[in-house]
Chains A and B, each alone.
Chain A
Amino acid sequence: MKIVPLWSDALLILLLALVVAGAWWSRKQAHLKDAWRKVGASGTAMAAATVLAAFVVVGVLDSLHYRPALPAKGDGPVQYSNEVLSVLDALLLPLKSRSEKTYSAPLATHLFAKESLDGEGRDFPRLKHGGVHLGQDLAAQDGDIAMRVLTGLGLGVALWLPLWFWVRKRKIGAGDTAMGSVLGTAFVMLLVAGPVALLSAGYHVLGTDKVGQDVLYLTLKSIRTGLLIGTLTTLIMLPAAVLLGILAGYVGGWVDDLIQYLYTVLNSIPGVLLIAAAVLMMQVIIDTHPEWFATSAERADARLLALCLILGVTSWTGLARLLRGETLKLREMDYVQAARAFGVGRLAIMLRHILPNLMHIVLIALVMDFSGLVLAEAVLSYVGIGVDPNTISFGTMINAARMELAREPMVWWSLAAAFAFMFALVLAANLFADAVRDAFDPRAVK
């Protein structure tokens, strides 16, 4: 197999590395440590962090891409498949490969719509994979499902107990509310995950979509897209926002005028339209240069990154303005005046005195923007200016499912699945962001 490092993978890994490095560094910074301790002491924040961690694990597993080797033909050089897979795909291979012909309801054994079967009139055909182990004994389905749910619950508890013992034994804050809420959240998640895992071995837990793909698989794959848009966008715009915000605030004069002009212009174009215009143009570029991309995955990845870039360009203005305002205040602070009295240079003052005192704003922006961007992705993809239509995302899922709402009876499961996962992700992000803001913002009102 050949490892395919997509650009977005690299950036995501970089981001994780930055987070780890930042965490290690902040251990030595008293004020950061205090603030994180405050986050850590909040029950809701830690429960949200647990949920987010689960999402991140899925997203990271889905960000390790490779092309599997094709079965060797003779002695020739090893050929690689054109399809780019991720570690998550490999783990979920059963889900990915067992696709049906078209729609089927959750846990169904038959397709959703009647079809004319050879010679036997119209009926619901059996699924190729869902519930196939039952054979003809369809009456046993309920029992089988119940069995799997119970075993799954047992499995969940079994996985949770070692965690609980470990925490108790190591006495890592055992008994305090924050650790309790982590354990509680983990318990609930494992109780859900156990039965789902066992059920998905035999059924399509969340049904299948129009082309018969397992909806659970699609939802899990959507997580990566959501995470990437939510984090990379901010990461991409951060350098520009920080640099321009500080420059405008500290240097002032014509530099300030120019930067303010720039962001007023960008701000004055309604966001969706600017994104639409930019995405349309980017689409033209990608379409007219098919030779740049070896695989369709790379093409979709380029579009995803371009979308992050565009979202970043349209959204740096808010942060830059915030940082400019704060810099204006900081530069009048006595410690900046003291540094100037020593003849310390502008750059050194910006780096030593301004930037470190703005980092909490940057961090707050990073976590606060995340949920909004995840939601924005869904809307943009729906409008047709989001990710590549072949990229699996919450937006593309909703968009595809919406067409079928008019059907009688309704195909509701894709929507429900996208709703549930998105809601969990965004709610967790919002709660966590609130806790971070409360801990880091000196002016936060409780």
Chain B
Amino acid sequence: MLAYIIRRLLYALPILIGVNLITFALFFVVNSPDDMARMQLGVKRVTPEAIEKWKAERGYDRPLLWNAQAPGVAAATETIFFQKSVKMFAFDFGRADDGRDIAREIATRMAPSLAVALPVFALGLFAAVTFALLLVYFRASYLDFWGVVFCVAMMSVSGLFYIIGGQWLVSKVWHLVPISGYAGGADAAKFLVLPVIISVIGGIGSSTRWYRTLFLEEITKDYVRTARAKGLSERAVLFGHVLRNALIPILTGVVVLIPLLFMGSLLIESFFGIPGLGSYTIDAINAQDFAVVRAMVFIGSLLYIVGLLLTDISYTLVDPRVRLQ
């Protein structure tokens, strides 16, 4: 088991390096720092001095890969590649355009993101599994049919509308909770209720339908017939046998998402003014703050890889057939 985890972590390294190379290529090779400076400063009538100043402020005034002027090791380290890409492995992301340290900013913003994402994840999973079980229990009935139609209809509405509609109805018409904002501690609850509920509703259509399909697939298997032949009731078959087996693909499908919960949700956070990583990202995108976007790409990939590892481990916990080698 330990050897397996070590091996997986070793496998993760080349992937992170790959991610790093892709971002490096995207940000510094496809476009030169000069291009970026020109765009940010306004394409027309920008003086070379202004470009140099912009680059110097951000540390983009070094050579890309090899600094022939620098002595010794510095030839490799005093480069954009080392300063901007390699240093990420030490969680040194540099500074954002507003001068703040990106690593610290990320650390403080994880908590609000998690405060939204975690309840959404748990409630959403619970609700979807419950509804899917309900539909499967009443399979091939009108309840099932209209349930599926309802799920498809729910899936067909853009997430934006759930947010806009929810804010309008709950905050503007009913005045139940503030329309947006965030506070630490116990006060957070009143700001969190609406975004959490809206996210759960927004995602429930597709996941319910997906889980229903998994349950139905499971229910056609031979062991279910065996369980019925034992004399088990339909409910006992569903909860005692089908649920456990169907939870394997469900759990392992969602475990990969758990680390990514730290990243927060772009839409929800920006609509509700929650100072998490999602809104941080979206602000950086809108402000074209390349350093922050790069940092988020790195963090996101890292968390995804952790998620993959957790998925494999979770397999061993829920499925006796899987032994990690």
Contacts and interface: CB of A to CB of B under 8 A. Distances in A.
Contact of A423 (B157, B159, B286, B304): B157
A445 B156 contact: no
Given A273-B300, A280-B285, A264 B15 contact: yes
B116 interface: no
A314 to B, nearest CB: 11
Contacts of B153: 427
A430 B152 contact: yes
Interface stretch (B63-71, B104-112, B188-196, B259-267): B259-267
Interface string A405-439: 10000100001000100110011001100100000
Nearest to A280: B288
B263 to A, nearest CB: 6
The residue in A277, A283, A290, A410 that gathers the most chain B C-beta atoms within 10 A of its C-beta is A277
Given A277-B293, A288-B39, A383-B282, A269 B19 contact: yes
A378 B158 contact: yes
B79 interface: no
Q: How large is the interface on B (under 10, 10 to 19, 20 to 34, 35 or more residues)?
A: 35 or more
B23 interface: yes
Nearest to A266: B22
Given A265-B22, A270-B260, A427-B152, A284 B305 contact: no
Q: How large is the interface on A (under 10, 10 to 19, 20 to 34, 35 or more residues)?
A: 35 or more
B168 interface: yes
Contacts of B18: 261-262, 265
A269 B156 contact: no
A375 B285 contact: no
Contact of B304 (A268, A276, A278): A268
A384 B289 CA distance: 13
Contacts of B285: 276, 280, 383-385
Contacts of A434: 152
B24 to A, nearest CB: 11
Contacts of A351: none
Nearest to B288: A280
A290 B35 CA distance: 13
Interface string B139-166: 0000000000000110111111100100
Nearest to B286: A384
Contacts of A262: 18
Interface of B: 14-15, 18-19, 22-23, 26-27, 30-31, 35-36, 38-39, 43, 152-153, 155-161, 164, 167-168, 213, 216-217, 220, 260, 263, 266-267, 270, 281-282, 285-286, 288, 290, 293-294, 296-297, 300-301, 304-305, 308
7 contacts: A277-B26, A277-B293, A288-B31, A379-B158, A398-B161, A405-B168, A419-B157
